[in-house]
Structures are given as C-alpha cells and as structure tokens.
C-alpha cells in the first residue's frame, strides 16, 4: 500500500496495546493488509530482523532514554548518551535507520534556555554516532511538558546549533495544527530535513473553541481523549490537513521515506478491532491522496 502522490510506503507506529506488542502477530497482520512499514517502539533490537525478514520497512525506532539526554545531571546525560549510542550501533549494523524522538527534558520546570543548552550538548555528541552509519534522529514536535523543537523558532535554533545532517524532522502535521502553526508553510521551510512522516491529523472543534478558547482548560467539561477541549487528534482524512498538497511537497523535494499512521484518535483507540480498523481506514485514505 502506497500513497498515490509520491508513491510513499504506508505503515503504522507500534502502540502500547497487547495486540501491538506481539511482533510476530503484528507482522502477519501488516503483511496480510498490504501495509509496508512499522515504527518500532519497544525492544527494537530483537524485532528489527523479524520485521526486515518479512519484507517490511522500518519507519523509525524509539531509543531507550531520550529524556536523560536533556537532564541537569551531567552523569545522567552521559549514561543516556551511552545507552542510546549502543542501541543505535546495534540497530544500524545492517544499515541506516531513523531514530524517533520528542525533545522532552527530564525536568520541565527548569528554565527552557537551560534545558535547551543541555539538549545541544547531548545531541552534538549523539550526532557523531548517527553519522557513523548515515542514520537520522527524527524529531517530532509534540508540545508536551517543557518540550523543545516544536515550533519553527526552536527547530531553526536547534539545526543552527547542531548542524549535523543526522538531525532531522519527523513531520507530523497534527501537532502544528493544534498549535496554530501553518503545517504546509512549516513543511516547505523544513522539507530538506524531513526523514520520516506520521500519518496523523487534527480536528478543530469550532463550537468548543468558542466556549473554552485554547489557553485554559474547561471548568465543567471533560477533556477529549487524544485531544483537549477544543481540538482532537484524528486519523488522516478526518482533520484539517491537506494531505495531497503535503505529499506533493514531499515528492517534489525528494522525500523517500514512509508515511506511518500514528493512531491517536478517540473514535478508534481502545479495542483491538477498532484500532486495526482505524489504522486501515487512515491508510486507505492516504493511498488515495
């Protein structure tokens, strides 16, 4: 299964549910449904060969200790650097890989500039390890607690201060939309750094936006799962992103990676069958874009 525009392989990100942790069953289901890529989030070193042997592509790999890379304690940063470096070298023995990250500090209460400096120091060192195999560190801009590298401002600064080509973008339009950042303008600016793409979208709930705004939590209403009060994450095709245009920009600028469904959608997450349906529904939409 590939996208119509760009012919990019379509896959999905392994999520933390029982059916998704069982790698042999996961591979069998992916192959049976013509999906072509898996993003590995748990025990990647043992799963890597099995996924490749099935003819599937590895979209990205989660490293064991990303938060430790942005910690105040130098010994903690050194330990995280060592663990992550070992994982990278083990996973790239057979070739380059994408290693997934969100730049979350260990202590989000520290000043952002302070955590930023820890990040630059750690990832300057990690870049040299990635360069050994021609691999990439693909940074997703999820704006979690204290997160860095979420906006054009912080991505620009990071690529200036850690200029290694190993440092890259995991392009996920859903986070940009919820923050009010134009996702196509962002893609145009950073497309030469994009080495992985998440298939995820965001719906803005206009009535709720009027009721609650986006600066404060609601007082009486419940937060939406995989969202807030005025927005929610969705599978591709049920949010605001113009997927055809985004895929066109990627294709015209030489992107050669996969598009992996990251299932975070209250309409589908929960039961095994509905999660599988959500992944396939999003994948089929992308195949027509």
Residue with tokens 């549910």: 17
Averaged pLDDT for residues 172-199: 98
Q: What is the mean pLDDT of the chain?
A: 95
Q: Say if residue 86's pLDDT is above 80.
A: yes
Q: Give the pLDDT score at 180.
A: 95
Between 287 and 42, where is the model more confident? 287
Between 172 and 23, where is the model more confident? 172
Averaged pLDDT for residues 263-281: 94
How many Cβ atoms are within 10 Å of 216's Cβ, its own excluded?
Answer: 8
By residue count, the chain amounts to 289
Averaged pLDDT for residues 166-183: 98
* Short-list 251, 134, 132, 232, CA closest to 187: 251
Averaged pLDDT for residues 168-190: 98
Rounded Cα–Cα distance for residues 51 and 45 (Å): 11
Residue with tokens 């750094």: 193
Q: Say if residue 185's pLDDT is above 70.
A: yes
pLDDT tens track for 202-228:
999 999 999 999 888 899 999 999 999
| Spatial CB neighbours of 44, under 8 Å, sequence gap ≥ 6 | 61, 62, 87, 91
Residue with tokens 């042997």: 53
Q: Say if residue 34's pLDDT is above 80.
A: yes
pLDDT tier for residue 23 given thresholds of 50, 70 and 90: confident
Q: Give the pLDDT score at 67.
A: 95
pLDDT tier for residue 40 given thresholds of 50, 70 and 90: very high
Rounded Cα–Cα distance for residues 73 and 38 (Å): 34
Which residues, in sequence order, are bridge partners of residue 168? 138
* Short-list 190, 168, 204, 180, CA closest to 246: 190
Averaged pLDDT for residues 143-166: 97
Q: Give the pLDDT score at 100.
A: 97
Averaged pLDDT for residues 145-169: 97
Q: Give the pLDDT score at 16.
A: 66
Q: Give the pLDDT score at 58.
A: 95
Q: Say if residue 21's pLDDT is above 80.
A: no
Residue with tokens 């609601």: 218
Q: Give the pLDDT score at 127.
A: 98
Q: Give the pLDDT score at 55.
A: 94
- In the chain, % of residues over pLDDT 70: 99
Residue with tokens 């994450």: 233
């Amino acid at each position: 299964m590939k996208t119509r525009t760009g012919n990019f392989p379509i896959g999905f990100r392994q999520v933390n549910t029982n059916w998704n942790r069982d790698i042999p069953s996961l591979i069998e289901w992916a192959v049976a449904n013509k999906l072509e890529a898996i993003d590995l989030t748990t025990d990647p070193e043992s799963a890597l060969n099995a996924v490749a042997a099935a003819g599937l592509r590895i979209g990205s790999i989660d490293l064991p200790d990303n938060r430790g890379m942005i910690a105040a304690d130098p010994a903690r940063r050194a330990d995280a650097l060592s663990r992550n470096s070992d994982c990278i070298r083990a996973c790239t023995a057979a070739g380059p890989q994408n290693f997934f990250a969100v730049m979350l500090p260990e202590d989000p209460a520290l000043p952002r500039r302070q955590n930023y400096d820890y990040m630059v120091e750690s990832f300057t060192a990690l870049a040299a390890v990635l360069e050994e195999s021609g691999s990439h560190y693909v940074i997703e801009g999820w704006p979690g607690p204290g997160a860095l590298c979420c906006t054009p401002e912080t991505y620009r600064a990071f690529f200036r201060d850690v200029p290694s080509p190993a440092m890259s973008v995991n392009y996920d339009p859903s986070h940009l939309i919820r923050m009010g950042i134009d996702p196509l303008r962002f893609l145009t600016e950073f497309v030469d750094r994009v080495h992985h793409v998440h298939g995820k979208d965001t719906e803005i709930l206009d009535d709720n936006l009027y009721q609650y705004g986006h600066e404060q939590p609601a007082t009486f209403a419940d937060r939406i799962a995989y969202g807030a009060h005025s927005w929610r994450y969705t599978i591709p095709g049920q949010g605001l992103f113009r997927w055809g245009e985004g895929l066109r920009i990627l294709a015209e600028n030489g992107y050669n990676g996969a598009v992996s469904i990251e299932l975070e959608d209250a309409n589908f997450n929960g039961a095994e069958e509905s999660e599988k349906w959500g992944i396939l529904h999003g994948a089929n939409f992308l195949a027509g874009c």
